[in-house]
Each structure stands twice: as structure tokens, then as C-alpha cells.
Amino acid sequence: MKTITANRLTDGRVIYRTAEGEWTEELARAERLTDDAVAEARLAQAEAEPAIAVGPYLIEIEADAPGGQKWRREGIRLTGPTTGSTKVTNTSRKAA
């Protein structure tokens, strides 16, 4: 499963794209994309909004947490900074 993430132009915050085409800071509200063709189409829409979101791209997610090979990177983007306090978002990964 995938979703679209980017950084907000005005303050650099990590944001995710919802099914309604809005942008949110909460991963839980992000759109779940299962079909790759649909995902690419949604990404093209996101790229057409450079005044809101900078550098949108697709990430892997598992349940409500970043997954795939870049789970840690996306985990830090979601909950960082890492100064002794980053909550591990994907507990199954922590065990592994």
C-alpha cells in the first residue's frame, strides 16, 4: 500500500495527501493507494500544486505506519527529531 508525502512550502512541515486532494500532517488521514496506476495519477495531481507541497513522492505504508525499505527514514520524517525521543511508529519493525 502506498501514499503520497511532501513538504509544505510555507513551513517545511511533512505532509500527506488525503483522498479528497487535501494535505494533512496526520498519516492516518492520508489516502491509501493500492493500485500503482492510480498512485501515479494521484502523484501527477500532487505535483501540480507546487505552491502548497514541495517534492511530492510515493512511500510504502503498512497499516498506519511507514513501511517498505525506507520505513526508518519515513518514520523519522513523521515523528522526528530523533533527540532521544522519536517514537517508533512501526512496532513490528522494531522487533525485527
Partner 1 sequence: MLQLDRKTVTRDVTNAQLEAGGGTIVEIAGDTPWQDAATQISGAVQVDIRFPSFKDGRGFSLATLLRERAGYTGHLRAVGDLIPDQAQYLHRVGFDDVAPERTDLEEDWAKAKARFTHAYQPAQDRVTPIFGQRVSAPKDELAALNARYRGADAIDILRDAIRNQWTGRIAILSSFGAEAAVGLHMIAQVAPDTPVIFLDTGRLFAQTEQYQRALSEQLGLTNIRMVRPQAEEATAEDPDDKLWQRDPDACCALRKVRPLDNVIGEYDALITGRKRFHGGERMALPVVERLDGRIRVNPLASWSAQQVTDYFQRYDLPRHPLSDMGYASIGCWPCTAPVQDDDDVRAGRWSGRSKTECGIHTPSRIAAE
Question: CA distances (Å), 78 to each of 15, 46, 48, 91, in order?
Answer: 9, 19, 23, 15
Q: Which is nearer to partner 1, 21 or 80 (CB)?
A: 80
Instruction: Name residue 7's amino acid.
Output: N
Element (H, E) at 6: strand 2-8
Question: CA distances (Å), 69 to each of 23, 30, 62, 75, 87, in order?
Answer: 24, 19, 12, 11, 18
In the region spanning residues 8 to 67, those forming contacts with partner 1, defined by CB under 8 A, are: 10-12
Candidate ranges 6-14, 15-23, 34-42, 46-54; the one touching partner 1 (CB under 8 A):
6-14
| Minimum CB distance to partner 1, residue 27 (Å) | 15
Candidate ranges 31-39, 51-59, 65-73, 77-85; the one touching partner 1 (CB under 8 A):
77-85
Chain residues in the site for partner 1 (CB under 8 A) = 10-12, 81, 83-85, 87
